[in-house]
Amino acid sequence: MKKGERLFIVDLTSVSLFDSPSLSNIAKDEIRYKKIPFLYLISSYIRNSVLDIAYLKLDYVNKKDTYDWTIYEFQY
C-alpha cells in the first residue's frame, strides 16, 4: 500500500459471531465446539486475525454497522 491509501474490511457479522477470547474458550470445550457450525468458527477466526493485523499495521479511521455487515476503514 502507498501512504494515504485506505483499506476497507467488510465483515458479515451474522457468521462471524465470536471474539478471540470466546473462540479460545470454545476450542477448549469439545462438547461446545462440536455444537457450533464450523462456518461460524472459521469466519470469526479470520475476521479476528485480519482485524488484529490491520490494527497493528494501519491507522484505524472508522467503523460502520449496517444491518448484517460491519465495515472497518483503515489508512496506511
Domain range list for the chain: 6-75
Q: For residue range 58-75, what is the model confidence (pLDDT) as tens digits? A: 999 999 999 899 999 999
Compute the average pLDDT of residues 36-45. 97
Cell of 5: 491509501
* Residue 42: C-alpha distances to residues 6, 9, 18, 25, 28 (Å): 26, 16, 10, 14, 15
Q: Is the dihedral of CA 31, 37, 38, 41 positive or negative?
A: negative
Q: What is the 3-state composition of the chain as percent helix, strand, coil, each rounded to the nearest 5?
A: 45, 30, 25
Residues 11-38: pLDDT tens digits? Answer: 999 999 999 999 999 999 999 999 999 9
pTM score of the predicted model: 0.88
